[in-house]
Amino acid sequence: PKFLSGVAISGGQSDIALEVATDTVDTILSFLTTDYLLQKYADMLDIPVEELKDYTLYRFIDDWYGVRYRYGGTDKSGIDCSAFTQRLYNKIYCTDLLRTAYSQYKSCDLVWDKDMIKEGDLVFFKTRGRAISHVGIYLTNNFFVHASASSGIMISSLNESYWSKRFAGAGKI
C-alpha cells in the first residue's frame, strides 16, 4: 500500500520492502533540514517553532552565522554590520539598502516603540558616541541578527544591558 506520495511498502510477513522515489527522498531530506534549522533558531530565540515562518531568512542567517567582522568588509572573508544588513535585505527582501548604518537609518520610517518592531525591521544603535554607528535586523522576541565587532555574525537580544543602553530606534524600509 501507498501511504505517502512516492513511498510504498510491499512484501509479506518475513520480508518487507520500502520503496522511495528519488524525488521523494529529496523532499523528505529537505523537510528534515528545514525542520532542524527552524527548531535550532526557535530554541535560540526562545519561541515555539511554529512562530518561525520565514525559512529563507533563517537559512540565510545560518549560512552567514559566525562569519568574522571586518570594518568595511562586504563578503564571507569579513563583513561589517551595514554590509550584512545590505546583503540580507537584497537576498531575502529583494531590496537595495544604502551602505552605511547612518544612511540606512536616514532612509527608514523610524519606529520608537519596541512593541511595534516587526521581523525584518532594521534596529539601530549608538555604540560610539551620539551618532548611529551600528545596525542589525530584528527577528522576534527582542532578538536581532547583526555583525558584531567581537563575535562576527550573531544573534543578540535588545534586552541585554549593552544593547538596551545603546538602542537608538528601529526602521521600516
Among the listed residues 81, 108, 123, 139, the single catalytic one is 81
HEC profile for 15-58?
A: CEEEEECHHHHHHHHHHHHHHHHHHHHHHHHCCCHHHCCCHHHH
Among the listed residues 45, 80, 87, 134, the single catalytic one is 134
Is 94 known to be catalytic?
Answer: no
Among the listed residues 88, 97, 136, 146, the single catalytic one is 146
Is 134 known to be catalytic?
Answer: yes
C-alpha cell at 58: 533563517
Say if CB 104 and CB 121 are below 8 A apart: no
Opening angle at CA 140, ends 123 and 173, nearest 5: 40
Q: Which residues are catalytic?
A: 81, 134, 146
